[in-house]
Copies of this chain bind each other. A is one copy, B any other.
Amino acid sequence: MREIGELAERLREFAAERDWEQFHTPKNLAMALTGEVGELVAELQWLTPEESLKVRDDPEAAARIRAELGDVFIYLTRLADLLGVDLMQAASDKLEDSRRRYDPESYRGSARKAPPLS
């Protein structure tokens, strides 16, 4: 499976088989996304930035983080699907905006000016 559209389709089936579509409103899914992001953040909260770069060296932590990333992506895909948003296109459009807004010369290496990646 390489296409987000295929994941979205499988999530649709998953919800339909359990009669869970009634719970999958954008509002509820945004809350579920919040909960999963909170679990992801909790895995990194006490690490230094440098330790967070090496978290792959701890197989148990790495597995938990991989699972949380999977959960976040699942809810993000399901939410975007319900809202009719093409995630890849939305990200691509935002990246183009950022390319224009943050020209490499003016913003090079600046933490102060660097807040938004996009």
- Using a CB–CB distance below 8 Å, which chain A residues touch chain B? 1-4, 7, 10-11, 14-15, 17-20, 22-28, 30-42, 44-50, 52-53, 55-56, 62, 65-67, 69-80, 82-85, 87-95, 98-99, 102, 104, 107-109, 111, 114-115, 117-118
Q: List, sorted by A's number, 21 A–B pairs whose CB atoms are closer than 8 Å.
A: A7-B91, A23-B114, A27-B31, A28-B46, A30-B41, A30-B44, A31-B42, A31-B45, A33-B41, A35-B39, A35-B42, A46-B111, A55-B83, A65-B85, A67-B93, A69-B85, A69-B87, A74-B91, A74-B94, A75-B117, A75-B118
A104 near B26: Cβ-Cβ < 8 Å: no
A27 near B48: Cβ-Cβ < 8 Å: yes
A27 near B52: Cβ-Cβ < 8 Å: yes
Docked Cα-Cα span, A92 to B66, in Å, equals 11
> How many copies make up the complex?
4
A94 near B70: Cβ-Cβ < 8 Å: yes
